[in-house]
Amino acid sequence: MKINDVILRTISRIVVFIILTFGVYLFLSGHNTPGGGFIGGLVLASAIVLLYLSTDIETVKKSLPLDFKYVAAIGVLLATSTGFGSIVFGVPFMSQTFAYFDLPIFGKTELTTVTIFEAGVALTVVGVLVTIILSISEDGG
């Protein structure tokens, strides 16, 4: 049975962008203020799940051709290799460093290696969450 979901689809088209923006905001505001890779990743994943809900799995797969298992794997690889990087540079494992740069549009910006680590966390969360929800939906038939 196909339910009439015009309202859901219309709204989710707009809402997905709000959620994605909010997710990116949470992700970037991490490490010093509330937020971070885990929460940002959850919010980003919820946007993707909303897409799956409002349209259907095939349509989303066509426009977003990602194997989310590999997204999760890349995330873990990214997060662990930032830890590993500190071994290469001869400082204690998981050390971080930051510096201030003058970027063209943003002005004086703090760039830190934590962001790379957090990006890994975010990718892992997105990958794992979407994989779990997709496998549950496949089981239900």
Piece of the chain touching other proteins by CB under 8 A; list 21-29, 41-49, 56-64, 74-82: 74-82
Minimum CB–partner distance for residue 81 and other proteins (Å): 7
For residue 103, list its beta bridge partners.
107
Q: What are phi and psi of 30, to 5 degrees?
A: -55, -160
Piece of the chain touching other proteins by CB under 8 A; list 4-12, 30-38, 48-56, 84-92: 84-92
How far is Cα 48 from Cα 103, in angstroms, rounded to an integer? 31
Of residues 13 and 69, the one with the C-beta less far from other proteins: 69
How far is Cα 28 from Cα 22, in angstroms, rounded to an integer? 10
Candidate list 42, 73, 111, 133; residue touching other proteins; CB under 8 A: 73
Q: Which uninterrupted H or E stretch holds 100?
A: strand 98-103
Q: What are phi and psi of 8, to 5 degrees?
A: -60, -45
Candidate list 29, 55, 95, 112; residue touching other proteins; CB under 8 A: 95
90 in contact with other proteins (CB under 8 A) = yes
Minimum CB–partner distance for residue 70 and other proteins (Å): 7
Candidate list 20, 94, 116, 133; residue touching other proteins; CB under 8 A: 94
How far is Cα 121 from Cα 127, in angstroms, rounded to an integer? 10
